[in-house]
Amino acid sequence: MTETFFERHKATLDQALEAITTRGYWSPYPESASPRIYGETAAADGEAAFKVRLGKTFELDQPGGGAPLGGERSPFGLALDIGYPAPDIEALIGAAQAALPAWRDAGPQVRAGVCLEILDRLNKASFELAHAVMHTTGQAFMMAFQAGGPHAQDRGLEAVAYAYADMMRTPASALWEKSQGKHAPLRLIKRFHVVPRGVALVIGCSTFPTWNSYPGLFASLVTGNPVIVKPHPEAILPLAISVEIARAVLTEAGFDANLVTLAADTTEAPIARDLCLRPEVRIIDFTGGSSFGDWIEQNARQAQVYTEKAGVNCVVIDSTDDPKGLLRNLSFTLSLYAGQMCTTPQAIFVPRGGIQAGDEHWSFDEVAQKLAGAVDKFLADPARAVAILGAIQSKKTLARLEACRTLGEVVLAPRALADPAFPESRIRTPLILTTEAANRDAWGRERFGPIYFIVATDSTEQSIALAREVILEKGAITSAVYANDEAVLAEMEQAMMEAGVALSCNLTGGVFVNQSAAFSDFHATGANPAANAALTDTAYVAGRYRIVQSRRPAD
């Protein structure tokens, strides 16, 4: 008998189901790009596969579509010149609806097996995806490999595991029997059907196209919903490759490939609003700016909406017994991908009277100068700096970086760096400013990019209060605190629990506030304005389907 996809990947699913309950470290997709893991030729093959895509039309053989569209240009200066099928919204929605019944009736196990096979093949394509992510987002290659490949695949598998566990919680059928005393008991056979909501829409972002899209894609697909993937117009290729792989697996499994389709667009002719308002679209996953995310939440009333938007991530520094570790950790945190992460802190609160740093007392100005100096030193080696910073994804972020110089006193000015391999790349070091707590209009709104404010407060108590207030108002994905006093740590934890944001305490080693581990860390909470959902929990998957029952007499 031919092995099914579910049987092939059952051990992986079982381990994932265990991991989401124990919350320890686990990943089936190695983050090391070693040839010993992925094969001696995997790196070269992946790069070659990426280069073959350039200057050509990306064929998907999906319904509708006119002349190819595109226009992606790498933040490292490379013109991709790839044309994608212009979407015919009516045709895509019609094809998705036609594909739904057979996929729904296949049941959770079959759907989980297919999704696991898609993830396995995505993992095998990690090197090609890395180049695609690198040259659309500006991530340096190793980060693009890890975040765009294995870590994104982890998040997709995590969503499958949560959804599978939730769907399997209800039995497919049950015998209901109620005693009637002297009379024969009442007996019914009850059947419980997992019924998907309908067509799902995933709207990708420009900085993490796979990492932020895979959870919604796989959560909707495994629960029986066909998915239309709408990438950001500047980062289409990573999701186009993902859609191509998904369609191939679906076809091989005997299902309609139109369960997953691509709806590419351009910045000049966007289609996201039209898609969001289609009555057939019943699920929307969105990652991006607050203005459009808020609009979706307010206007797409027919859909179950999951959003991750902007926020102001905060750090409170009270004291530390490892000042070198603090500076080293924050230097990496503020440099990684030039701050273009939804988890990177922006506002760093420091008491005006300074902090206790080991055996020394650092004034506020010394804290600012030492942190700025540590970042500058960390990025002094151009080769390492380029490998950490990557490139600035959007010209808007570059303009914002320059415009924000006037919002405080500059303690570290941004510098342009050159990458010998990509002379046209947009690479910048961070901008660090100091300002007063009263200057809330400067530090109290998201300034996406490598833009950081060291905020002078009256006390640690005020620092914590300000962090709580701005997160409740603007939202946040992460927060952090450095303190030697357990009472301060407890106060911060209580405040961040009330604000609904994850907290990291005294990170001085190899774990950083802007990194999140699947199967263990919940990315966002859904409890503050930065996101209305968490990656990944039961609430993230349970609303994507409903249980519909039927019953009849057993006799």
> Which pLDDT tens digits describe the chain residue by residue (555 residues)?
368 999 999 999 999 999 999 999 999 999 999 999 999 999 999 999 999 999 999 999 999 877 899 989 999 999 999 999 999 999 999 999 999 999 999 999 999 999 999 999 999 999 999 999 999 999 999 999 999 999 999 999 999 999 999 999 999 999 999 999 999 999 999 999 999 999 999 999 999 999 999 999 999 999 999 999 999 999 999 999 999 999 999 999 999 999 999 999 999 999 999 999 999 999 999 999 999 999 999 999 999 999 999 899 999 999 999 999 999 999 999 999 999 999 999 999 999 999 999 999 999 999 999 999 999 999 999 999 999 999 999 999 999 999 999 999 999 999 999 898 999 999 999 999 999 999 999 999 999 999 999 999 999 999 999 999 999 999 999 999 999 999 999 999 999 999 999 999 999 999 999 999 999 999 999 999 999 999 999 999 999 999 999 999 997
Phi, psi of 303 (to 5 degrees): -115, 155
Q: Which helix (H) or strand (E) holds 50?
A: helix 42-53
Cα gap 157→104, rounded to integer Å: 19
CA gyration radius, the chain: 25
Cα gap 433→482, rounded to integer Å: 20
**pLDDT at site 1:** 36
Residue 441 neighbours by CB under 8 Å, 6+ apart: none
**pLDDT at site 442:** 97
- The residue ranges of DSSP E strands in 385-492, in sequence order, are 409-412, 416-419, 422-428, 431-436, 451-457, 478-482
DSSP strand pairing (409-412 vs 416-419)? unpaired
Residue 328 neighbours by CB under 8 Å, 6+ apart: 374, 378, 508
Domain ranges of the chain: 5-309+534-553, 314-505
Check residue 51 and give left, alpha or beta (phi > 0: left; psi -120 to 50: alpha): alpha
Cα gap 333→310, rounded to integer Å: 18
DSSP string, 80-93: ---BBPPP-HHHHH
Q: 283, exposed or middle or buried, with CB in 10 Å at 0-12, 13-18, 19+?
A: buried
Is the CATH number of domain 314-505 3.10.310.30?
Answer: no
CB 306 within 8 A of CB 221: no
Task: State the residue for tokens 């009472």.
Answer: 487
Start-to-end CA distance of the chain, whole Å, equals 36
- Most distant CA pair in the chain: distance in Å? 90
CB count, 10 Å around CB of 328?
A: 17
Task: State the residue for tokens 């009256």.
Answer: 458
- Integer angstrom CA distances of residue 165 from 106, 109, 219, 436, 526: 17, 11, 12, 49, 21
Nearest to 433 by CA among 417, 416, 422, 449: 449
Residue 504 neighbours by CB under 8 Å, 6+ apart: 478, 479, 480, 481, 511, 513
DSSP strand pairing (355-357 vs 360-362)? antiparallel
Buried b (16+ CB within 10 A) or exposed e, 78-106: bebebbbbbbbbeebbbbbeebbeebbeb
C-alpha count within 13 angstroms, C-beta hemisphere, residue 295: 11
**pLDDT at site 2:** 66
- Rounded to 5°, angle at Cα 200 from 194 and 204: 140
* Topology classification of domain 5-309+534-553: Aldehyde Dehydrogenase; Chain A, domain 1 (3.40.605)
Nearest to 415 by CA among 392, 434, 442: 392
